[in-house]
Amino acid sequence: MSRIARRGALIVLEGCDRSGKTTQCRKLVDALNTDGIPAQLWRFPERDTAIGQVVSDYLERKCELDDHAVHLLFSANRWELVPKMLETLKNGTTLVIDRYAFSGVAFSAAKESLDFEWCKKSDVGLPRPDLILYLNLGVEAAAQRSEYGGERYEQKPFQKRVAENYAALMDDDWKVIDAAKGINELHDELKSIVKNFVLKGDVHGEPVGKLWT
């Protein structure tokens, strides 16, 4: 196999709403940069693009959209950033991404109108994450956290279906982490996993894979 120059790792954090992803992504990127490992924090939906703005309005209940249409907009919001994603990885920067295509499927397929396999199709071929960290937190515990219920999908029966869909998506690339612990304890655990993974360097000589192909 042809070797390519050292690239960054593509690392995704997933989990139900309020499981602590954004808090941990921020702390992870800070820790990696402090240790001299170039890393950037990305997120999906990326609400700052034109497509992301529509998605954000939908989540905040400022507009209504057909379920299929909004699913494809979430997906398009990832695809529009793929060239920049690949360029950043190629330049040796590790990406820590707050949600990705797995959220796309887990949330959309929790709607009765949308089929699980149909939901996967629009994300087939996206850059495949090298490591997926799943923050596992019970629906009841998540609902205790601040501001729960503000956005469209933050209701307990819906989140239970989301958790079942995540379980159906998991494979050997996933690490399930118990997220029902303090912010700093959880950070230490994630930092150790991610630093070991990045420093092991397995991904550096491998091209970025294609998701679900």
Q: Which residues bind ligand T5A (CB under 6 A)?
A: 15, 17-23, 44-45, 59, 74, 98-99, 103-104, 107, 145-146, 151, 153, 182-183, 186
Residue 23 in contact with Na ion, rule: CB under 5 A: no
The conformational region for residue 197 under phi > 0 = left, psi -120 to 50 = alpha, else beta, is: alpha
Please tell me the distance from the alpha carbon of residue 197 to that of residue 199, in angstroms, as a whole number.
6
23's contact among Na ion, ligand T5A, none, with CB below 5 to 8 A by partner kind, is ligand T5A
* Main-chain phi, psi angles of 135, to 5 degrees: -85, 110
Residues in CB range of 56: below 8 A, 6 or more apart: 45, 47
When CB distances are held under 5 to 8 angstroms depending on the partner's kind, the choice from ligand T5A, Na ion, none that residue 99 binds is ligand T5A
Structure tokens at 33: 């940069």
Q: Which is nearer to ligand T5A, 93 or 189 (CB)?
A: 189
Q: Which of 18, 22, 39, 198 binds Na ion (CB under 5 A)?
A: 22
Q: Counting beta carbons within 10 angstroms of the beta carbon of residue 80, is it exposed (0 to 12), middle (13 to 18) or buried (19 or more)? A: middle
Smallest gap from residue 29 Cβ to ligand T5A (A): 13
CB nearer to ligand T5A: pick between 98 and 130: 98
Footprint on this chain of Na ion (rule: CB under 5 A): 22
